[in-house]
């Protein structure tokens, strides 16, 4: 098991490249533990990686689709075989639970397998012929794809980009998050080993590396998952060079609870979408709208269940969820909790510390449930990305829909009701990329179903078939008149 310090270098053309500087990666649940060291890349490293990817692209795009699929299938096996040593490493660098890291690898593996299964049919040239003309519509790979991925679910979010990029004949330069780069980089190195040299390259670093990648003239598309503010900068850089983009950005997902449900029946399922990964998921439930007459019952039911949670290290048996990933987010959420308390809202701190002695050696926060908060308060209108959830009363369903839509975000949402048709009718009025009925968690995702946001939650779709794959190709039409 990789439970001792490890070093991750830059990967260019299937060769590890040493850097002048390395950053330490600490366990967010045991801050005194150094999990590993990661190379800090430069704009020069980005250029070398892009040049290598471009050179590889000239051959990879001409590789028969069946051979590309064979290589991707080999990568699926690599992901599967890597779970034993890399899952615990991922827990130690990003702070999640063991099962969450296993889920990350599992979704990543399934995603690669999915695109290997549908790629051949998608890339086929289409022919159209009538009495006057003959037309062929070819699907050609764009070239080098720049992928920038976050720390919270690095494996599946990377494979959501690797799968469609490779099967359509593109090559890649990938920038992992600086706060969880170890497991995904080791995994990518192993995947790169079953591919031709230069098809996958990895450069680590800060925002400067991201800027160099998004502005490089040989990079033809950017696939980015992260915060809305950074996403806007990525989009601006890409637009300067007319690059295609797929942006999966922040979310402030509402859950609308209708008055025909029993809180006892739905709260356990609802909570799967609230505190998983300590609330650090883009499409986590971040605000709950409850009919005003049942708010107290809902709040009390929720508090009773959340109070049983135990917060501890992700590898600790009995932990419900782990620490936050980094100091910046930890301080942001702590300040948000204090501001909410000072606002006059009812704020309940719940649950217990699994290991009180080690509490101050990690970014641990107990779960919080908030009641009586105003719809336009900060805790409701922002993306908290932490273990705190506001419950907001509404008078009518029309008001609940209005509240749900009054946000700059539009990633996911959910409606909870015993009447499915009623829930569907309400869901159709919500401005979001996805609306789930009586669920809102990892279980809500499905391969082949488009995932992505509207408004400031991004553009483009991942996890889908044609809507995703078409973003990685250019259409080339040839036509002659008879």
Query: What is the average per-residue pLDDT within 72-79?
Result: 98
> What distance separates the 2 farthest-apart alpha carbons in the chain?
82
| pLDDT in the model for residue 115 | 98
Tokens of 135: 């037309």
| pLDDT in the model for residue 374 | 81
| pLDDT in the model for residue 183 | 98
Q: Say whether 447 sits in a helix, a strand or coil.
A: coil
Is the separation of the CB atoms in 312 and 267 below 8 Å? Answer: no
Q: Using CA of residue 106, residue 462, residue 10, residue 385, what is the dihedral sign?
A: negative
If pLDDT is split at 50, 70 and 90, which confidence band does 108 have? very high
Alpha carbon distance 415, 422 (integer Å)? 9
Alpha carbon distance 112, 232 (integer Å)? 28
Is the separation of the CB atoms in 165 and 172 below 8 Å? Answer: yes
- Kindly report the number of other CB atoms within 10 A of residue 22's CB atom: 16
All domains in the chain, ordered by first residue: 6-249+456-481 (3.40.605.10), 253-446 (3.40.309.10)
Does residue 53 surpass a pLDDT of 80? yes
| pLDDT in the model for residue 3 | 44
Q: Which of 421, 481, 424, 433 is nearest to 459 (CA)?
A: 433
| pLDDT in the model for residue 375 | 81
| pLDDT in the model for residue 164 | 98
For the question of whether the overall pTM of this predicted structure is more than 0.95, the answer is yes
If pLDDT is split at 50, 70 and 90, which confidence band does 2 have? very low
Per-chain mean pLDDT for the chain: 96
Is the separation of the CB atoms in 111 and 223 below 8 Å? Answer: no
Place of tokens 């490779």: 166
Does residue 482 surpass a pLDDT of 50? yes
Helix ranges (H only) for 95-153 are 98-123
Is the separation of the CB atoms in 364 and 311 below 8 Å? Answer: yes
Instruction: From the candidates 93, 100, 113, 248, give the one annotated as an active-site residue.
Output: 248
Percent of residues in the chain assigned helix, strand, coil, to nearest 5:
45, 25, 35
| pLDDT in the model for residue 376 | 82
- 205-227 confidence digits (pLDDT tens): 999 999 999 999 999 999 999 99
Does residue 350 surpass a pLDDT of 60? yes
Beta-carbon contacts of residue 333 (< 8 Å; ≥ 6 apart): 324, 365, 384, 385, 386, 387, 388
In a 13 Å sphere around the CA of 337, the CA atoms on its Cβ side amount to 20
- 252-300 confidence digits (pLDDT tens): 999 999 999 999 999 999 999 999 999 999 999 999 999 999 999 999 9
Q: Say whether 263 sits in a helix, a strand or coil.
A: helix
If pLDDT is split at 50, 70 and 90, which confidence band does 373 have? confident
Q: Say whether 15 sits in a helix, a strand or coil.
A: strand
Annotated catalytic, 248?
yes
């Amino acid at each position: 098991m990789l439970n001792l310090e490890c070093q991750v270098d830059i990967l260019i053309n299937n060769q590890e490249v040493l850097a002048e500087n390395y950053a330490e990666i600490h366990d967010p649940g045991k801050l005194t533990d150094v999990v590993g060291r990661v190379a800090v890349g430069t704009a020069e490293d980005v250029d070398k990686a892009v040049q290598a990817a471009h050179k590889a692209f000239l051959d990879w795009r001409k590789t028969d689709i069946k051979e590309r699929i064979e290589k991707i299938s080999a990568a699926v096996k690599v992901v599967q075989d890597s779970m034993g040593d890399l899952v615990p490493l991922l827990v130690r660098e990003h702070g999640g639970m063991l099962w969450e890291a296993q889920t990350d690898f599992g979704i990543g593996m399934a995603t690669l397998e999915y695109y290997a299964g549908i790629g051949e049919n998608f890339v086929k040239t289409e022919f159209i012929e009538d009495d006057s003309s003959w037309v062929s519509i070819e699907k050609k790979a764009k070239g080098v794809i720049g992928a920038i991925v976050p720390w919270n679910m690095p494996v599946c979010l990377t494979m959501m980009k690797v799968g469609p990029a490779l099967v359509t004949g593109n090559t890649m330069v990938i920038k992992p998050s600086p706060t969880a780069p170890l497991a995904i980089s080791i995994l990518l190195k192993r995947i790169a080993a079953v591919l031709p040299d230069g098809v996958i390259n990895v450069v680590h670093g800060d925002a400067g590396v991201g800027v160099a990648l998004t502005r490089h003239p040989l990079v033809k598309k950017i696939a980015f998952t992260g915060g809305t503010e950074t996403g806007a900068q990525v989009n601006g850089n890409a637009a300067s060079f007319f690059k295609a983009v797929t942006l999966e950005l922040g979310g402030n997902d509402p859950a609308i609870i209708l008055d025909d449900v029993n809180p006892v029946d739905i709260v356990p399922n609802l909570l799967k979408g609230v505190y998983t990964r300590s609330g650090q998921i883009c499409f986590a439930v971040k605000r709950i709208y409850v009919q005003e007459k049942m708010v107290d019952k809902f709040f009390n039911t929720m508090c009773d269940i959340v109070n049983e949670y135990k917060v501890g290290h992700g590898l600790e048996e009995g932990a419900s969820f782990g620490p936050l990933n980094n100091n910046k987010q930890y301080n942001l959420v702590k300040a948000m909790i204090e501001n909410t308390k000072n606002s006059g809202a009812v704020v309940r701190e719940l649950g217990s510390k699994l290991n009180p002695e080690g509490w101050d050696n990690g970014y641990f926060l107990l779960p919080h449930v908030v009641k009586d908060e105003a719809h336009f308060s900060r805790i409701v209108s922002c993306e908290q990305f932490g273990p705190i959830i506001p419950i907001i009363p509404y008078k009518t369903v029309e008001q609940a829909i209005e509240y749900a839509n009054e946000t700059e975000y539009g990633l996911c949402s959910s409606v909870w009701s015993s009447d499915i048709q009623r829930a569907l009718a309400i869901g159709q009025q919500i401005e979001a990329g996805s609306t789930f009925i009586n669920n809102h968690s990892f279980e809500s995702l499905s391969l082949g179903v488009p995932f992505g946001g509207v408004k400031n939650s991004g553009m483009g779709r991942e996890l889908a078939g044609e809507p995703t794959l078409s973003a990685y190709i250019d259409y080339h039409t040839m036509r002659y008149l008879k």
